[in-house]
Amino acid sequence: MGKELNTTATWHKLALSVGVSLASMIDVASDVYTISYYHRIGKHATANLMTAFVLLCIFLQMMLVVAIHHKNRRRMVLELLGTITFTKPAFNKFRVLTNASIDGHEVSE
């Protein structure tokens, strides 16, 4: 009974996953706001450096997704879409909460 409860998708697990996704989007929104604030007050070098770091972070995440999922193009595209839209943490949280099985195409586990 406990194993079935752990692997079952529930509304509570879905709500937790949506909360994680919102936190990720709020984090990115705060980064964008901070960058625009620094541009407004004239600290363009700082704003440009922050922009470079945010873009580098997104680029590295995308490269990791490609490296891990390159054997399954469909899964790779879905994971890249989640990375670009900042919803990937929600999908990962839901997979962990529902104890989803690994497909086996991933390079690392």
The pLDDT of residue 79 is above 60: yes
- Higher pLDDT, residue 106 or 100: 100
17-50 per-residue burial string, b: 16 or more CB within 10 A, e: under 16: beebbeebeeeeeeeeeebeebeeeeeeeebeeb
What is the reported pTM? 0.70
Q: How does pLDDT run across 11-24, given as a tens digit for each residue? A: 777 788 788 888 88
d(CA 39, CA 34): 9
SS3 assignment, position 71: coil
Mean of pLDDT values over 103-108: 56
Q: How does pLDDT run across 20-71, given as a tens digit for each residue? A: 888 888 998 999 999 999 999 999 999 999 999 999 999 999 999 999 888 8
